[in-house]
Amino acid sequence: MPEAVGLTLMPLHRTDGQELPTLPGLLALNPPRRAARGRERDHLVVFLALTGNAPISTGEYIHLAAQTGEAFYQAGGSLTSALRAAAETLNQALLERNMRTTGHGQYTIGHLVLGALRDGRLFLLLSGQTHVFWVGRQGARHIHDAALSGKGLGMGPRAGLYYAQVELLPGDWLLFARQVPASWGDSLLTDRRPVTLDSLYHRLMVMTEEDVRGALLQARAGEETLSLLRPGRPTLSPEATPLPSKETVPPSAYAIPPQAEEGPPPEPSPPPPEPETPTISEMDITPKETSRSGKERRRDLARALVGALRTWRTWSGRLSQGVARFLPRLLPSAETEDSRPFPSSWMAVIAIVVPLVVVTLASVVYFRYGHSAQYEKYFSLAEEAALRASAESDPIRQREAWEEALGFLNEAEQYRRTSQSQALRRQAQDALDALLGIARLEFRPALSGPLPSSVQVAHMAATDNELYLLDATQGLILRAALTGRGYQVDLDAFQCAPGFHDGYQVGRLVDLVAPLPAAPLDATVMGVDALGNLLYCAPGQEPKARPLVMPAIQWGRITAIALDGNTLYVLDTEARAVWIYRGQEGLFEGTPIFFFSEQVPPLEDVVDIAVREDDLYLLHADGHLTRCTYSDLEEVPTRCQEPIPLTDPQHPANQEDISPTSAHFTRLMFNVPPDRALLLLDAEKQSVYRLSPGQQALEIREQLRPFLEAEPPFPSEAIAAMAVSPNHTLFFAVGGQIYQAGGVP
């Protein structure tokens, strides 16, 4: 069992060159009296930084941070799920705020670090552009993964989340930061001398003149509580036990007793009075009220420099004394030259070589046995979690235990990677896949070479031996043909770009469909622009344009099309309409029919559509789905169900992760016949859900995902587009390459 520790926090805050004693968005929360089951022993640090061009007050800052902490303590279940629930609550709040200000061109992006302290371990969640540094007795670590933590909260329904954990001992310290000044460099990890928060604060502030937004945390022995200090107030040594802190209205903040500054022992003096416990109202101070004069800042700088000089004199003096005592024993002297067993030249060589050998041996021992001990510790914890998972009968708890085992394996393999750890990882991952209904597919690059860096694939369509890619940058369609060396992009014989064709001006294409029924105009693919101009393209021939008949209410802005047999469905989000065009041999020249009757669902935020027979599915930006069933009978009007829920009765352990708020759904389409499943793409989890349409809900059959240890490795970034060919091959567009996997059900 790790040693019980508490945490003391201190804000790092400089804005426009002025150091401020408080930091809105930094909260230290101890468990409230009415916490959800499982949260009674969790202590939470909230570090929130907001960027963007929308004005935000200090009160709003604190409210958002407090809302995040409240969501954590109201969430039951595992610690990971509670951290995720807190981050998703903040993401939803910022997303709604941004949607209200979008018309004014204003936005706010959240960058978040959550740290949950339990039993001597700090469990971390990072989202957005944030960094965590941990420096302790057992090592040092920079915790940061831009690919997993994403660009920030409030930009979409799905937020990037990165999890980590560290074991704390008294004296260990951490830094939470929005950005890391270049002048700090590697010194954060290389200098591991014992420090106090005050000395560390002044050291970091002196090293840079940039604006800083961060927080320092230090572990202390004793009661497992959180305390929040202001810079400039004396701090306790890490081994000291703080006075009991009193609970304030959540989110709460705490202060701890003072400590003398670093340097020579001061003359005995009466102990200073205990500082008052700061509250939220005390934290809510404007920069004008808390800013210090230039004279005070210069005094702080001088004090920090004097402290640094004292420390340097102390260490250099000790080093000189040690060298003075050690070298005479090795170097030759005139008095004893004749009595020494080796010549003076050999003695000089020994004086140089012996310290190098000692340092080398010490390093070898540490890296071999120190790393081995860390590996064994975390691997043992992973084995224990795996045993608990195997003994569990409840699917949710079984899933949590396997996830915990994988987390400990991640920690263990930072020190060593063995055949045992890999075998346990495969066992844990296979068990999780079975619990969640995940089927792994072997993806490999489809294109013979990467796409040009300027190409951004937004949509794809596939035939048996062709791939069609819609480039959002130029609004044109690229064709890749299957050859003996994979798919090759045809840049010469295939042309399908905006321009003047057949007397019509075609704009940037926004969507495409393929294959086409009856090959109209000898075309193999069809695209559409925002004003209803269809562009028919085929290898070796000029594109042919045909405009759709304009509806009575005229076009707003077309964003998507879907083809079901010989019927074309056109989504006009700006005009809040879906139009039906009955075709003849692939040409759509008739007057359109309005899809809806009396009930018209919200269409402004729809990002994709799919149609099968009379059922139209609408995917909204926040991830929820609407299903509308068309009827041309007056007595039975077209009806819509919104939202249509997702259920997974076959996999009870998956219940937490099937809500739209926990996924980033970006595309949907129907699978190729004879399968009638609806395919729903979760871009960030790189997962395709196969859904069976039911009367009242969509039932999840399984999830299709790449193998985790694919060779060559599958990129970790979000999937931009997907397609399925008639021969049941699934295609993903990821990071400048197209990947394919066969054997899709």
Q: Report the distance separating Cα 188 and Cα 204, nearest Å.
A: 9
Can you tell me the mean pLDDT for 129-156?
Answer: 84
Is the CB of residue 581 less than 8 Å from the CB of residue 629?
A: no
Angle between helices 371-391 and 419-436 (to 10 degrees): 30
Q: Report the distance separating Cα 266 and Cα 278, nearest Å.
A: 28
pLDDT above 60 for 216: yes
pLDDT at 269: 42
Nearest residue to 253 via CA among 25, 14, 15? 25
pLDDT above 90 for 74: yes
Q: Report the distance separating Cα 723 and Cα 516, nearest Å.
A: 15
pLDDT one-digit tens code per residue, 23-37: 899 999 999 888 888
Mean pLDDT of the chain: 81
Can you tell me the mean pLDDT for 599-616?
Answer: 92
pLDDT at 260: 36
* Three state DSSP letters for 531-585: CCEEEEECCCCCCEEEECCCCCCCCCCEEEEEEECCEEEEEECCCCEEEEEECEC
Reading the block at residue 378, the tokens are: 């975390």
pLDDT at 661: 57
Which residues, 6 or more positions from 407, have their beta carbon under 8 angstroms from its beta carbon? 163, 165
Question: Please, which residues bridge with residue 525 across strands?
Answer: 537
pLDDT above 90 for 231: no
pLDDT at 633: 84
pLDDT above 80 for 109: yes
Domain 441-741: state its class.
Answer: mainly beta
Is the CB of residue 511 less than 8 Å from the CB of residue 560?
A: yes
Question: Please, which residues bridge with residue 438 across strands?
Answer: 703
Q: How confident is the model at residue 232 (pLDDT cuts 50, 70, 90)?
A: low
pLDDT above 80 for 366: no
- Please, what's the b/e burial string for 288-323 (b: 16 or more CB within 10 A of its CB; e: otherwise)? eeebeeeeeeeebeeebeebeeeeeeeeeeeeeeee
pLDDT above 80 for 101: no
Q: What percent of the chain has pLDDT over 90?
A: 40
Q: Where are the domains of the chain?
A: 5-259+277-286, 337-436, 441-741
pLDDT at 447: 93
pLDDT above 50 for 237: no
Q: Render 287-307 in DSSP notation, one character per residue.
A: HHHH---HHHHHHHHHHHHHH
> Options 3.40.50.880, 3.60.40.10, 1.10.600.10, 3.40.50.970; which CATH number does 5-259+277-286 get?
3.60.40.10
**φ, ψ for residue 675, nearest 5 deg:** -70, 135
pLDDT above 50 for 263: no
Q: How confident is the model at residue 236 (pLDDT cuts 50, 70, 90)?
A: very low
Between 6 and 708, the more confident residue is 6
Between 320 and 388, the more confident residue is 388
Nearest residue to 176 via CA among 28, 64, 55, 352? 28
Radius of gyration of the chain (CA): 32
Q: How confident is the model at residue 318 (pLDDT cuts 50, 70, 90)?
A: low
Q: Where are the beta strands (DSSP E) in 472-550?
A: 476-483, 486-489, 499-501, 504-506, 509-513, 525-529, 533-537, 544-547
Q: Which long-range contacts (CB under 8 A, 24 or more apart) does 148-152 make?
A: 148/716, 150/684, 151/109, 152/51, 152/109, 152/110, 152/111, 152/127, 152/128
pLDDT above 60 for 291: no
- 339, amino acid identity: S
Q: Report the distance separating Cα 493 and Cα 513, nearest Å.
A: 20
Q: Report the distance separating Cα 612 and Cα 668, nearest Å.
A: 12
- 71, amino acid identity: A
pLDDT at 251: 39
pLDDT at 480: 95
pLDDT above 50 for 123: yes
pLDDT at 622: 82
pLDDT above 70 for 22: yes
pLDDT above 80 for 295: no
pLDDT at 278: 37
**Half-sphere exposure at residue 605, Cβ-oriented, CA atoms within 13 angstroms:** 14
Q: How confident is the model at residue 240 (pLDDT cuts 50, 70, 90)?
A: very low
pLDDT at 373: 81
H-state helical runs in 123-276:
146-149, 187-190, 197-207
Is the CB of residue 619 less than 8 Å from the CB of residue 668?
A: yes
Query: How far, in Å, are 288, 597, 616, 632, 639 from residue 635 at the CA level?
Result: 68, 11, 20, 9, 12
Q: Report the distance separating Cα 207 and Cα 184, nearest Å.
A: 7
How many C-beta atoms lie closer than 10 Å to residue 266's C-beta? 8
End-to-end Cα, the chain, rounded Å: 47
Nearest residue to 76 via CA among 65, 68, 84? 84
Q: Render 114-144 in DSSP notation, one character per residue.
A: EEEEETTEEEEEEESS-EEEEEETTEEEEE-
- 425, amino acid identity: R
Is the CB of residue 732 less than 8 Å from the CB of residue 447?
A: no
pLDDT at 256: 33
Q: Is the whole model's pTM more than 0.75, yes or no?
A: no
- The least confident of 248-257, 359-368, 401-410, 578-587 is 248-257
Query: How far, in Å, are 25, 62, 250, 252, 273 from residue 280 at the CA level?
Result: 11, 8, 9, 7, 22
pLDDT above 90 for 704: yes
pLDDT at 347: 60
pLDDT above 70 for 662: no
Can you tell me the mean pLDDT for 427-456?
Answer: 91
Q: Report the distance separating Cα 281 and Cα 253, nearest Å.
A: 11
Can you tell me the mean pLDDT for 201-219?
Answer: 89
Nearest residue to 177 via CA among 394, 21, 11, 357? 11
Q: Report the distance separating Cα 697 and Cα 556, nearest Å.
A: 32
pLDDT one-digit tens code per residue, 476-488: 999 999 998 899 9
- 286, amino acid identity: T
pLDDT above 50 for 502: yes
pLDDT at 282: 33
pLDDT above 50 for 630: yes
pLDDT above 90 for 102: no
Q: How confident is the model at residue 341 (pLDDT cuts 50, 70, 90)?
A: low
Is the CB of residue 95 less than 8 Å from the CB of residue 106?
A: no
